Amino acid sequence: MPGSCRDIAGSREPSTPGKRVLAGIEGGANWPACLSHMEGCLKTKRAAVVIDSDSSATDSSGLPVPAGYPSKDMKLTVMGQMKHSRASVIYLAGLLLLPNAAPGAEAQDAAVFPAPRLVTAETRDNPRALADLRKSGKIFFEDDFESDASLKNYFEIRGLREGNAKRTNDAKLAHTGTGAMQLTAVARDGKESGAGATGWLGPEGYDRVHLRLYIKYAADYDQGNLNHTGGSLAAVAGTDRWAGMGSAGIRPRGDDRFNSRFEPWCDWRKLPPPGYLFLYTYWMEMARDRDGHYWGNMLGPVDSERVVPRRGQWHCLEHMIKANDVGQSNGELAAWIDGKLYIHYQGIRWRSSPDVRLKRFDLGVYVHAAAKNNTVWYDDVALSTGYIGPKGKARD
């Protein structure tokens, strides 16, 4: 395979702490960066590199590296929990291949960031930690969609004029009462489609917010593969409620924004729609996708605990973001399904400025390639500074 390297991990594998993500991508000497967290901390080592400009080369692990790179232009080391900023890097079976900068090129940094720690099992087994995570707070927003006044709670409702976003008044469609928010990503011959409602939490914002909602996917919901359907929490700096919108594929700087959406993915059709739930997350130390963009990192549970929500029935989803203290990596991210802790991450450096606070939330449906209508309903939405839990159940 001259002039290219082997695709090791497959397409768009999530960066899941606790699992090594090994990846390469075709493209010869110009192959883009593969940016994924590596498990653990490995000691720095030297490894022999055999370079053959006329055929595929291999490193000491036996995996191929691009032909055409002279050895003097290479540095091969083993790194731990490596995450890249802008330099061109690639992981090969735990080895980091880092070409030296070309003559005259600007220096490029390759920062080493610790990966968020998945601590769900530890939290469940620690009564004090679980109680702290489930500590109640002040509920500052509730919407049961029982009247049209609900629509005033959102500064943007995408699809309202077209009828793709609307408040229904039918007890058969609601979780409680008669009202619910119905959102439809209409068929567009395989083009992107979506609808949604976005609310503003105020210019002061919060350092910890829980978003609890009930969602029902239509019985025939089938996004194909990629979608962004679920509730989202977003932090921004300043007072602009539109700040950071339209920034897909761009890594936050730390002084501007971060966000996370609790959504499903069917893993390239390996799972039935809508797929398993995870947290699609942007923050200042996120990993870059192998296509060169910073798409949301997929922070999920261990594989054996993946939950695929059933279509045609209501599910209580709640997720929480706790911002870090500036200069520390003590931020947290957690999610619950029907009141059961599903995901808990610690060790996140969400921001570098105290002005970046949680100020916005979103309820949405978005399908990348809409071949059919896909509808979801939202009901009994609440936001709080602490754990909320399923409606009608006692809070810890």
pLDDT tens for the chain, 396 residues: list them: 223 333 333 333 333 333 332 333 222 333 233 323 232 322 222 222 222 223 333 333 333 433 333 333 333 332 232 333 333 333 333 333 333 333 332 223 335 478 899 999 999 999 999 999 999 999 999 999 999 999 999 999 999 999 999 999 999 999 999 999 999 999 999 999 999 999 999 999 999 999 999 999 999 999 999 999 999 999 999 999 999 999 999 999 999 999 999 999 999 999 999 999 999 999 999 999 988 899 999 999 999 999 999 999 999 999 999 999 999 999 999 999 999 999 999 999 999 999 999 999 999 999 999 999 999 999 999 999 999 999 986 443
| Structure tokens, 242 | 């539109």
Q: 317 has which bridge partners?
A: 213, 337
CATH of range 117-384; options 2.60.120.200, 3.50.50.60, 3.30.1330.40, 1.10.3860.10: 2.60.120.200
Using H for helix, E for strand and C for coil, what is the string for the chain?
CCCCCCCCCCCCCCCCCCCCCCCCCCCHHHCCCCCCCCCCCCCCCECCEECCCCCCEEECCCCEECCCCCHHHEEEEECCCCCCCCCCCEEECCEEEEECCCCCCCCCCCCCCCCCEECHHHHHCCHHHHHHHCCECCEEEEECCCCHHHHHHCCEEECCCCCCEEEEECCCCCCCCCEEEEEEECCCCCEEEEEEEEEECCCCCECEEEEEEEEEECCCCCCCCCECCEEEEEEECCCCCCCCCCCCECCCCCCCEEEEEEEEECCCCCCCCCCEEEEEEECCCCCCCCCCCECCEEECCCHHHCCCCCCCCEEEEEEEEECCCCCCCCEEEEEEECCEEEEEEEEECCCCCCCCEEEEEEEEEEEEEECCCEEEEEEEEEEECCECCCCCCCCC
pLDDT for residue 303: 96
Quick one: which of 140, 141, 136, 142 has its CA closest to 395? 136
Would you say the C-alpha torsion 119, 124, 126, 131 has a positive or negative sign?
positive
Q: What is the pLDDT, as a whole number, of residue 4? A: 32
Please, which residues have CB within 8 angstroms of residue 321's CB and are 6 or more apart in sequence? 208, 209, 233, 235, 258, 260, 331, 332, 333, 350, 358
For residue 95, report the phi and psi dihedrals to the nearest 5 degrees: -100, 140
- Residue among 25, 32, 19 nearest 288 (CA): 32
Domain ranges of the chain: 1-103, 117-384
Cα–Cα distances in angstroms (integers) from residue 218 to residues 29, 228, 270, 271, in the given order: 47, 15, 20, 17
* Rounded Cα distance, 110 and 270, in Å: 34
**Is the pTM higher than 0.85?**
no
Q: Are 256 and 244 in contact (CB under 8 A)?
A: yes
Q: Specify the pLDDT at position 114.
A: 80
Neighbours of 71 (CB within 10 A): 12
pLDDT number for residue 76? 31
How many CB atoms neighbour CB 350 within 10 A?
30
- Please give the torsion angle defined by the CA atoms of residues 346, 350, 353 and 358, in that order, rounded to the nearest 10 degrees: -100
Token pair for 185: 């990503």
Taking the C-alpha atoms of residue 302 and residue 268, their distance in angstroms, rounded to an integer, is: 18
Upper half-sphere CA count for residue 99 (Cβ side, 13 Å): 20
Q: Burial level of 180, CB count in 10 A (0-12/13-18/19+)?
A: buried
User: Distance of CA 43 to CAs 13, 80, 95, 184, 353, Å?
Assistant: 25, 7, 11, 51, 32
Q: Are 133 and 341 in contact (CB under 8 A)?
A: yes
pLDDT at 393 (0 to 100): 66
- Amino acid at residue number 300: G
